[in-house]
Amino acid sequence: MTINRDVANLVSRTNKISRNHVYPLVMNGDMRVAQRGTSATGVGASNSYVTVDRFRHNFANTAGRLTSTQSTDVPTGQGFKHSLKLDCTTADTSIAANEFGQIYQSFEGQDLSLFNKGTADCTTWCVIFWAKGTAKTYAVELYDSDNNRQITKLFTVTTDWKKHVINFPADTSTSDDFNYDNDQSFMINFGIHMGSDVTSGTLNTDSWADATSANRYAGIDSFFSSTDNELYLTGVQLELGNYAEGTEPEFQFVDHATQLRMCQRYAQVVCNGDDQFIGNGFFFQSDYIFVQLHLKNAMRTAPTATVTTVSSGFAANTNSGTDEFDGFDGIAHAHSMGAAIFTDGENVSAIPGDTCMCRTNHADVSIVLSADL
């Protein structure tokens, strides 16, 4: 009997690094996929994905602003090609109590059964990542959003790339299992700017506990303290077990196509730029177009659509000519495998039932479908 060579190699590699999972638990930990774009300015007033996939930028109530970039500055000799770079562009030195700033990744509960959380057999946890930047102390928090439980550890950034291996104990509370579904159950939070609402207590660092706001990020510095501040992150891993530095599992690289497909469960870019095909559609009414979207992969749930518009940014080609219009008005009939978008009364006109081909007509327009957590 013969075994497919790729399968044999995969099994051998998985055994070698003592993992019970084929794919990395942290998606896009090497920051290689950036579907929405490689740079975003003025970040600091929202909770959103702006550059690299699966790493959400959550900021509230702060005057501080930053530029987020998919950078090519990486640790030497580790195999990484990209990092996430944060560059403070507007400082905030008068921090109100309710200010909040973090970079995080969320996880579906059904992807975390290996940890046996909520049982006496719960495993320990290890978060591993590379960081460099302006010398500061920040926090990495494990947060169980199903049960409002958390634990936090501090780490110190240096001006040279450093690998951080941060161990966390098991949470053996038998009433606090993750929900086994496709909703958010767990988060890895990198806290970089916080007000006293979440810093005025005592850091909860030794054991999991029900979350007390004041204890979540005590002792961290502020990324927004100066426009000189920078922070780079890459190689983010979540592993079962605790490890002494030097014994931790190596970063689990996957091929680009697989990484992109994993990210597209949560976000898919339909178009981004000029003269790009969107989909085929038809005139439901004389001034109302339905356009069928073909999803690249099944999404986590029915997606929403974010449309970036400009005047005459889109076009519908029919047998009788081309109608230019500003944007789409909404998404309809969406599910995890498909959706339609529509425009209603946007300077389009044809016989009901006529078919059309829709495309972009300007470099600054885009359509992004999101089923993110």
3-class DSSP assignment, residue 157? strand
The answer to whether residues 258 and 308 belong to one domain is no
Percent of all residues in the chain with a pLDDT value above 90, rounded to a whole number: 87
Number of domains present in the structure of the chain: 2
Average pLDDT, the chain: 93
Instruction: Please spell the DSSP secondary structure of 32-83, one letter per residue.
Output: ---TT-SEEEEE-SSEE--SSTT-EEEEES---EEEEEEE----TTSS---E
The answer to whether residues 147 and 249 belong to one domain is yes
pLDDT computed for residue 345 by the predictor? 74
Element (H, E) at 285: strand 277-285
Mean predicted confidence (pLDDT) in 187-194? 98
* Cβ atoms within 10 Å of 144's Cβ, excluding its own: 24
- List 105's β-bridge partners, or say none: 188
Q: Which domain holds residue 91?
A: 5-263
The answer to whether residues 56 and 199 belong to one domain is yes
CA distance linking residue 66 with residue 70, whole number of Å: 13
CA dihedral sign of residues 183, 185, 189, 195: positive
Q: What is the per-residue pLDDT across 260-272, written as a single tens digit (0 to 9) for each?
A: 999 999 999 999 9
The answer to whether residues 259 and 279 belong to one domain is no
Give the residue from 263, 282, 299 where a domain finishes.
263
The answer to whether residues 318 and 343 belong to one domain is yes
- Strand order, beta sheet including 321-325: 321-325, 314-318, 355-360, 277-285, 288-294, 338-344, 330-335
The answer to whether residues 154 and 227 belong to one domain is yes
pLDDT computed for residue 251 by the predictor? 97
* Cβ–Cβ under 8 Å, residues 275 and 361: yes
The answer to whether residues 308 and 333 belong to one domain is yes
CATH of the domain at 243: 2.60.120.260
The answer to whether residues 257 and 280 belong to one domain is no
Residue 76: both structure tokens together? 């030497």
Q: What is the per-residue pLDDT across 282-305, written as a single tens digit (0 to 9) for each?
A: 998 988 999 999 899 999 999 999
The answer to whether residues 109 and 69 belong to one domain is yes
Give the residue from 228, 263, 298 where a domain finishes.
263
pLDDT computed for residue 1 by the predictor? 40
CA distance linking residue 170 with residue 323, whole number of Å: 60
Would you place residue 18 in the very low, low, confident or very high pLDDT band (cuts 50, 70, 90)? Answer: low
The letter for the amino acid at 241 is: G
- List 287's β-bridge partners, or say none: none
